[in-house]
Chains A and B, each alone.
Chain A
Amino acid sequence: QMQLQESGPGLAKPSETLSLTCTVSGGPISRSNYYWAWIRQPPGKGLEWIGSVFYKGSTYYNPSLKSRATLSVDTSKNQFSLKLTSVTAADTSIYFCARQSPILHSVDNWGQGTLVTVSS
């Protein structure tokens, strides 16, 4: 059973870049054509899909983030990452990394989530 674990700073300053990494254990990130996603949730609010990346590098993003998000994969470390530029207080959220199944057309495995606060 694959497990996902987010890591990265819990605090970011306004206008700076938020960087998070998700480490996948229990199997190779290149297995079974899964997509790897980042999803966030502002405290007390709903879920928002940020984007998804395939292990070969193809990416899909939420257009509402206006090109501020970049997802990448490092198969040698079995990790995938999120960079979000020009952050503001509105980017304060719990960030989840997740696995999207191409068969189930849904997210079938989630990390525990990590809170990132944007504040000076």
Chain B
Amino acid sequence: QSALTQPASVSGSPGQSITISCTGTTSDVGAYNYVSWYQQHPGKAPKLMIYDVTERPSGVSNRFSGSKSDNTAFLTISGLQAEDEADYYCSSFTTTTTWVFGGGTKLTVL
């Protein structure tokens, strides 16, 4: 199975909004609304930020939001803060009962 496609890096200034894309196929992202997003700071385990495309777990800031169009999912972070600087990974359930991750996107807060 191929990894989902994410941009290698994105950047934004404090207070701005950024969007990270995650492109898959009709066998994963496009098949179900089972896309999730994870935030990973250096040396730490990933943290779930978005599940089922648009849902936020308890305790996650409402500055984080998710959406999907066809085979591409999106993570938007509004009101960028310094603490948002991290790596972000998308993940999707697939039609072959497996899970696939994206290659990761490094977010830099300028």
Seen from chain A, the residues whose Cβ lies within 8 Å of a Cβ on chain B are 37, 39, 45-49, 52, 60-64, 96, 100-101, 104-108, 110-113
Contacts and interface: CB of A to CB of B under 8 A. Distances in A.
The residue among B38, B48, B99 with the most chain A CB atoms within 10 A of its own CB is B99
Contacts of A101: 51
Nearest to A64: B1
Contact of A107 (B3, B46, B97, B104): B46
A96 B1 CA distance: 20
Contacts of A112: 45
Given A47-B91, A105-B36, 7 more contacts: A39-B101, A47-B101, A100-B99, A101-B51, A105-B51, A106-B48, A108-B48
Interface string B84-107: 000001010100111111111000
Contacts of B103: 46
Contacts of A45: 104
A52 to B, nearest CB: 7
Contact of B102 (A46, A60, A107, A111): A46
B46 A46 contact: no
B84 to A, nearest CB: 19
Contact of B89 (A47, A60, A105): A47
Given A105-B36, A110-B45, A49 B101 contact: yes
A104 B52 contact: yes
